[in-house]
């Protein structure tokens, strides 16, 4: 299933290691485009010069099956020097906007790391409020190994949370679509109206609320 897809490498990490950096955190987010649930981010510091037996399986989390993501989630957690997860709820997304909320989730994930990172590799974005050397990499979750690992940690963590939220707010199918705007989700939203975990500022939700 994954043979023809982009294989993340350690190229960016090696460049930073050659400059003397030791604790390099890869960072990615998930849930940015969802209509319900939080935006979450993960930050992962990996050991230097690793070559785990599952390395060739790692991809951007969107390119992996749920079963493979779950398997890699446990492998990454087991080997990582440190893992941080940041969660920002829908009320903050509505109040501050999705970009600011995503940056905050990433900062919260970084703040959980111990040891603290001395440099950051981030999928697509930069974090002006974080005073560390950093590089935002377009398609970083497909190109950079530590960012790909962070994407897997973030995706599995958020999916688990959305399954829990489905039990709290039944009827929307949150466990299946994870809050994204599928036809099923839009139909349920039109029938039931928004729940407390829907993003009131996002257009499909806002349109239903104003009807």
Percent of the chain at pLDDT exceeding 90: 92
128 falls within a domain = yes
Within a domain: 104: yes
pLDDT, average across residues 3-16:
86
pLDDT at 5: 64
**Does the residue 145 lie in any domain?**
yes
The vertex-71 CA angle with 137 and 141, nearest 5°, equals: 5
The number of distinct structural domains making up the chain is 1
Beta carbons of 111 and 84 less than 8 angstroms apart: yes
190 within some domain: no
Local confidence band at 6 (pLDDT 50, 70, 90 cut-offs): confident
Q: Which residues are registered as beta bridge partners of 144?
A: 9
Query: Tens digit of pLDDT for each residue in 14-49?
Result: 999 999 999 999 999 999 999 999 999 999 999 998
The residue segments making up the domain with residue 165 are 11-170
- Specify if 5 maps to a domain: no
Q: What is the CATH number of the domain that holds 47?
A: 3.30.420.10
Closest alpha carbon to 73 in 178, 158, 137, 167 = 158
* Residue carrying structure tokens 């897997």: 152
115 belongs to a structural domain: yes
């Amino acid at each position: 299933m994954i043979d023809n897809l982009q294989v993340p490498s350690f190229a960016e990490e090696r460049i930073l290691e050659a400059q003397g950096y030791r604790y390099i955190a890869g960072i990615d987010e998930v849930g940015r485009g969802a209509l319900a649930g939080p935006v979450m981010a993960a930050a992962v510091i990996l050991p230097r010069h690793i070559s785990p037996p599952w390395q060739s399986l790692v991809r951007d989390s969107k390119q992996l099956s749920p079963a493979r993501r779950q398997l890699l989630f446990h492998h990454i957690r087991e080997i990582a020097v440190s893992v941080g997860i940041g969660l920002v709820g829908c009320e903050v997304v509505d109040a501050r906007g999705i970009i600011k909320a995503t940056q905050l989730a990433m900062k919260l994930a970084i703040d959980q790391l111990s040891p603290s990172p001395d440099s950051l590799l981030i999928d697509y974005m930069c974090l002006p409020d974080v005073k560390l050397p950093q590089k935002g990499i377009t398609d970083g979750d497909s190109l950079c190994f530590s960012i790909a690992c962070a994407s897997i940690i973030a995706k599995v963590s958020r999916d688990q949370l959305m399954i829990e939220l489905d039990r709290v707010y039944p009827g929307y199918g949150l466990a299946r679509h994870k809050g994204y705007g599928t036809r099923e989700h839009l139909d349920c939203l039109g029938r039931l109206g928004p729940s407390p975990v829907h993003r009131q500022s996002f257009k499909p939700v806002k349109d239903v609320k104003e009807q």
